Every structure is written in C-alpha cells, then in structure tokens.
A and B are shown apart, each in its own frame.
Chain A
C-alpha cells in the first residue's frame, strides 16, 4: 500500500496504490485524514487501486462524510471500470463525485 499526498493550493491531492481492503483501509483513512489538516478539498487518484473491498468502500464513505461536514469536497479520479461497477451495484457510487482524469477531477473540485 503506497499513499502519497501533497498540497496544491487549496487542494489536497492523494495518490493511492494497492488493494484497499479491511487490512489497509485504516491506514489509508488515517493518512488521508492527516493530509486533510491542510485543506478540505480532496482528490484521490485511484489509478493504482485494482481492488476495493467492502471495508474500503465504507472507509471512503466515512472520509467523504467527514470532509462534507467541513463543507469540503471529495473527488475520486481514475477509478477502474470494475470498481466503478461494484460501486454502482452496491449503491456507493451515488455518494461520490467521480472523474476520468486528474484535470477533470481538479475542475470538479473547484
């Protein structure tokens, strides 16, 4: 699991690589929450994520709620088709903003 975060202006950009499941979700959550000290607009680039488990989805939803409560925004970028499909069938997709590219994601954050 590799998590890189950086701050670009008002945006927090996170790049996550690896499987997000019950074992890794707590780590992703705590690192992203720490990064969000610097701003409340979060872009998560998931190009390197090939598997997102049920616990992973729930972690993202919790994260989204915490950011939303601070009037912030979360955009998921480069979500694989399979994960997108799973998110759709389980209803999670309704809660998120998804973007194809990082540029589109940044535009959605603005």
Chain B
C-alpha cells in the first residue's frame, strides 16, 4: 500500500479503502484491476482509475504520455483479467495527474462492410475524457504529424461551488441571449485583458445583467478543433476556421482555447468560475450541445476517438457500412443505440451536476429521434430518457426540431411534457409580417399567443415555444433590414453556402447607405422586432449584438470567420445607443409585466369576471381585427386581471402593430379601467428618447380614444388596473440566492 506522502500528484492522505494498492507491475508502473464504473479517468487515492468500453474490440492498450511529449511514456496492454464484459478498467498508481495525458489503442477487425474500422496504429481519445489537450491555445497552429492530436487529461473535480446550484427560473420568465464565447469579447473594443475567453465574458457580466438578460445560451463550448477543415480563402488569403464549433471532438471537455488559463490546463475551473458568477447575478446558462455528429466526418475523415473505439456502435451506418449523413456533416451519431444513449445521458448529467448547467439546446435534435437506420421513431428512447432523468429534472431541454435529412418537427417534436423547441415558424412569420407582407396577421396572432396552433393540441403550452427572429444561423437583426440577399463570398464557397430564404428586406438599398430615410426605417424595423418579440407569449431569445445593431455585412453563415464578421464591436453600443436603450427598456417592459408571461395558453375568454377576455383582438376599429388577406395591421389587448392565469394582477396592455406603408389610426378598445388613463410605453414611430419609456415613467396619452400609428410602427399602451400600485412594475428577482439579491439593487 502506498503511504508515501510525497508521491507525485498527491496532495493529501486519504487512505480509507483497503483495496487501493497495486497488485501488478507493467512497464514500470504499479497497478491493479480497476473499477468499470465510472467510465473515463477518475482520480482515486494514490492513483487513477481508467475505464473504457468497446463492444467489438479484442484488446485494449492504455497509452500514457507526458504532457505534450511526442512519444508515449508507456503503453500498458490490459491483461485479459482486467476486462469485465466489454469494459476494460485499470488503476494506475503514482501518476502526476497534472502532467499525464492518456489515450487508448484498440485492436479489432477492420471490415467496413460490417461496420468495423479498428486501427491499432491510432492512439484514441477517451470519449469520457474530462479535459482534452492539444488545442490549448486558440488558433495556435498544431503539429499535423502528432501521433496523438487530441489528448485525454485528468481533472480535479473538486470545484468549490459554495451554495450555488442551477437557478431554476421558470422558463416563461427567461430572456435568452444566444452568444458565442469568443465572439463576445474578442474584438479589441471589448477592452478585455484576455480577449475571447471565459474570463473575459465574466468581466462583461454587468453588461448582460444591465441589459436585463437572465439566461445566456452558449454556442458550443465542448472541445472542438478550430483547425478542422481550416483553409485559406482562395481570393483573400484570409484563414477560415471551424469557428462556431458545431463539430465535437469530445462531449465532456470544455474548449481549452476558450479559457485564458487553457495553456495551464485550468479551463475547467475557469468555466465553472464563470458559471458561478453568472448564477450570482441571476443569469442562467444553457449550453448548445451537438449530439448529432462528431468531428470524425465520414469514411475519409480522421480516426481519433469513436471510430477507432467502436465504429459500429457510435455511428449510424448504411447496410454497406458507409456513414448516414443526416447532420450534413459527414456522419451521424447513433443516438438511439443503448450505449450511445448512455453516453449522452452521462454527459448531460455531468454538465448539470459538475458544472451546474441550467439547460441544454440540442443542435439538429430531430436526429435524436431517429432509429439506428435513420427512420424517425414515434417514441424515441433517448428523448424520453432525457425528459425523465432525475438529475436533469429541472433542466431546460430545448430542441432545434429539425435536421439536415429533411425531418422537420416544429410543433410535433416528441416532448414528453418537457421539451421546448426553437420555433422556426415564429421566426418565419415574424420576419414576413415585419417587412410588410400581406396575409400574415392570422399567423401573427398565433405567434403572439405562444403558437397554440403548434403547441396547443397536445397541451404543451407557450413554454414549448422558444420565440426568436434571429439566431447565429442567418442574418443578424440589423442585416435583416439591410440586405435582401446573402453575401457569403468571404466563406470561400462562391456564395453557395447559407440559406436563401431569409425573409429579409433591405428597405430600398442593398447594404450600407448614407440615406437617412433608409437608415431611420431600418432602425424602426429593428425596434418593431424587439417590441413584438418582447410582448409575445413563449420564451424570447435574442442574438448577441442585436441590441446594438451588429452587422455581418450580409453574411448569413459566418461559421468560419474568426474576425469582425463575428466579433462583437463594442463601439456599436455608443454608435447605436438609441437601439441599445430601446432593447434594454423593452426587456424591462417584459420583465415588469407578468401578463406577458403566462405558463398556459390564453383562452380568449374572461374566466376572471373582469369584463374582458385574457386577450382580445382589434384593428383600426376596436373589437374588429382585420383578418383579411391584404391586412397588415393588428392590435391586441391583454387583460391585467388574467396575468399568470389570474393569480396576479397586472396592468392592461394594448399593442398596435402597423406593417403597412401608411399611417393608420387605431381606435383604442375601451376606456382605461376604473377611471385610470392609458399611458404610452412604446411608440417606435417616434425618435429616441420618445420611442420608449421605462416602466413606471410612461406619459399619459392625450386622446384616450384613438392613436395614430405611423407606417411600420408598433405602439404599446398600458393602463393601470384599479387597486394596483406601482410595485407591479418592479422587475422580478430572477435569482434566489442571497448574494444575487445583494448584488442587484
């Protein structure tokens, strides 16, 4: 038994177990049979327990390296007695857990026709590795001849969370901010000490909080390789990367290159510190997870992990042994194979418990509902398991409910009472209405109510609908009103990449212009988008930078751009201060009004005896919405007595939307209740600062009977209900810890 206190990597004596002593010696290392569970590499007193499974390998070798070394330190062939079932496990003692890197060689058949592609010449990354070395510093060119490019590392899983845990903010109260960690602070204008990192994002938390955001959704932060398919643009010479990161190398390890301390191997602590501080500020963290494919590509791609460990288990294969490509990225993870299902569940549990992640957004989630041959399942076991998992019991589960194989499940994603969806129909309908298309008011009325046409039939409610107009895929909000067409030449694919159905409108000139009329119209349309998004039932999601008019110069697919096309220019906050102020106040408006955030669909009935239904529909004439095909105007009123299903009292809210090119007069549907007065909260037809008023400071409306809504404008009025006091307009506390309350005034 080892009792040497000075053993490398050991910092405390914890000899409590009687079986943690070496029984064998191989290649100079003292070791013993390991524990099959948990999979991966786990620090144990005096050593490390390694465990890995493969259903089809015939032998397995643990390969140890010193950090960064070209040649292995040791290769330890697992004695057959160390295998139980399909799992090889070994405990190796006296390792310095900070300097060891590990991988495996797997021996087995190479017979692609039956699905096997073993290659024992490759040293493979453990799918359960908790940290990965090899891409420690973003953009540092790798040694392409490295025999072990992505290296498993050991991590301390002892982060001191103190009293933190996931915030569990009700999903209907979230305002989600979709963002890319590197893009957020990489631009020099961010002033960050370590641009483009978790640490720099942490320094910007006050900005996120003051904007009113209570949830950030991080584009992939799993280890990916920015050099995957990297190339130079043939014309410009610009380096093009796998920048967004939708191509996973390892599902358990945070992206080292996103950590300022990645070169020290401390990315785990840095990310956890960021999450802890976000939580202290009442901000949840959702991770964008990419379980539809891996970075190994198809049969022509590299073998660095899954393919070499158990190809037939991990990937969906055609009867001939080729890769199904439902992801559009070369391969498809075999998610409804029971083993792969387990690793997905293990992974999410790990992030929820070890990193205190609040929720997950599943990229191309329709794939998760396909069987191993690719056919859609009516009752996909993986989705069901995730919905009922105890550790994930309070996590938000959000599906991108389509895939690249043509399966489109918006409104029909197997939800098991848990899953929400990126509502692609919301995006499309809102874009069409905003740019003045005819025939959209009917659809708009559904989107305003949280899409009961999509989520009402099976009782899912508005909380199933993640409402968004823009996301990382496609135009930014500014570009949506500055470009009719995509301009993706910078991606080096002759503008053939990216989608063509943008439903955008350049307002009369393609791209940047000095024309003040066009620029004013663009800004008004941006405000309209913010205004409508914030008064819809469902869960609003906004894209990083849309609050300050970020542009990608018409590029609608910036997946490969490590430059100004993606980096947030913080100078825009001053340049477009009026937009930022509008966005901030519009978020504050939503947070001030529970009537906008019901958990259940509106009934269009008066079940509170207030004299008004929870929602009523209007147009230029009160009580008479124009649903005709040529209509481009719609108004609605929310009854404050029906807020949160009638459990709280809110103001009455009246919203008039005019996407017509002419000014329209709207008749206000009723006198303000109980002798009160209507007040103007928002009028996007007015220049700043008359465009929006902070909750509680809205000026009284002069003519209480009618309102002129100028072309392409949105007006929002509020009327206090009798017996209400101004307490109602105080934004709700999103967090629950004492610290978070102390920090927010």
Q: Whose C-beta in chain A lies nearest to the C-beta of B159? A: A91
> How far is it, in angstroms, between the C-alpha of A95 and the C-alpha of B276 when the chains are bound?
14
Q: Are A26 and B156 in contact (CB-based, < 8 A)?
A: no
Q: Are B260 and A89 in contact (CB-based, < 8 A)?
A: yes
A97 contacts across to B, CB distance below 8 A? none
B266 contacts across to A, CB distance below 8 A? 54, 86, 89-90
Q: Are B269 and A22 in contact (CB-based, < 8 A)?
A: no
A86 contacts across to B, CB distance below 8 A? 261, 264, 266
> How far is it, in angstroms, between the C-alpha of A15 and the C-alpha of B339 when the chains are bound?
53
Q: Are A95 and B11 in contact (CB-based, < 8 A)?
A: no
Count of B residues near A, CB < 8 Å?
Answer: 33
> How far is it, in angstroms, between the C-alpha of A88 and the C-alpha of B5 when the chains are bound?
29
A25 within 8 A of B: yes
Q: Are A29 and B11 in contact (CB-based, < 8 A)?
A: yes
CB distance from B88 to the nearest CB of A (A): 26
Give the secondary structure class of A's interface. helix
Give the secondary structure class of B's interface. loop
A62 contacts across to B, CB distance below 8 A? 11-12
* Residue in A22, A53, A58, A88 whose CB lies within 8 Å of B158: A58
> How far is it, in angstroms, between the C-alpha of A59 and the C-alpha of B269 when the chains are bound?
15
B587 within 8 A of A: no
> How far is it, in angstroms, between the C-alpha of A73 and the C-alpha of B548 when the chains are bound?
47
Q: Whose C-beta in chain A lies nearest to the C-beta of B155? A: A54
Count of A residues near B, CB < 8 Å?
Answer: 23
Q: Are B270 and A95 in contact (CB-based, < 8 A)?
A: no
B194 within 8 A of A: yes
What 0/1 readout, one digit per residue, does chain A (63-107) give for beta carbons within 8 Å of chain B?
Answer: 000000000000000000000011011111001000000000000
> How far is it, in angstroms, between the C-alpha of A53 and the C-alpha of B264 when the chains are bound?
7
What 0/1 readout, one digit per residue, does chain A (28-41) give for beta carbons within 8 Å of chain B?
Answer: 01100000000000
B276 contacts across to A, CB distance below 8 A? 91
> How far is it, in angstroms, between the C-alpha of A85 and the C-alpha of B9 when the chains are bound?
23
> How far is it, in angstroms, between the C-alpha of A25 and the C-alpha of B160 when the chains are bound?
19
Q: Are B98 and A22 in contact (CB-based, < 8 A)?
A: yes
* Residue in A22, A26, A91 whose CB lies within 8 Å of B272: A91
Q: Are B269 and A90 in contact (CB-based, < 8 A)?
A: yes
Q: Are B273 and A55 in contact (CB-based, < 8 A)?
A: no
Q: Are A26 and B273 in contact (CB-based, < 8 A)?
A: no
A27 within 8 A of B: yes
* Residue in A25, A54, A61 whose CB lies within 8 Å of B265: A54
> How far is it, in angstroms, between the C-alpha of A9 and the C-alpha of B158 when the chains are bound?
35
State whether A27 and B6 are in contact (beta carbons under 8 Å apart), knowing that A55-B98, A59-B11 are contacts in the complex.
Answer: yes
* Residue in A26, A55, A88, A91 whose CB lies within 8 Å of B6: A26
A88 contacts across to B, CB distance below 8 A? 199
Q: Whose C-beta in chain A lies nearest to the C-beta of B194? A: A89
Ordered by A's residue number, 23 sampled pairs between the chains whose C-beta atoms are within 8 Å are A21-B99, A22-B96, A23-B8, A23-B96, A26-B7, A26-B8, A26-B10, A27-B6, A54-B98, A54-B269, A55-B9, A55-B156, A58-B11, A61-B160, A85-B193, A86-B261, A89-B197, A89-B202, A89-B261, A90-B261, A91-B159, A91-B269, A92-B269
Beyond the given pairs A58-B11, A89-B199, A91-B269, 5 more chain A to chain B contacts, judged by CB atoms under 8 angstroms and listed by A's residue number, are A89-B260, A89-B266, A89-B273, A90-B266, A90-B269
A-B residue pairs, 5 tightest by C-beta: A91-B273, A90-B269, A22-B98, A89-B199, A22-B96
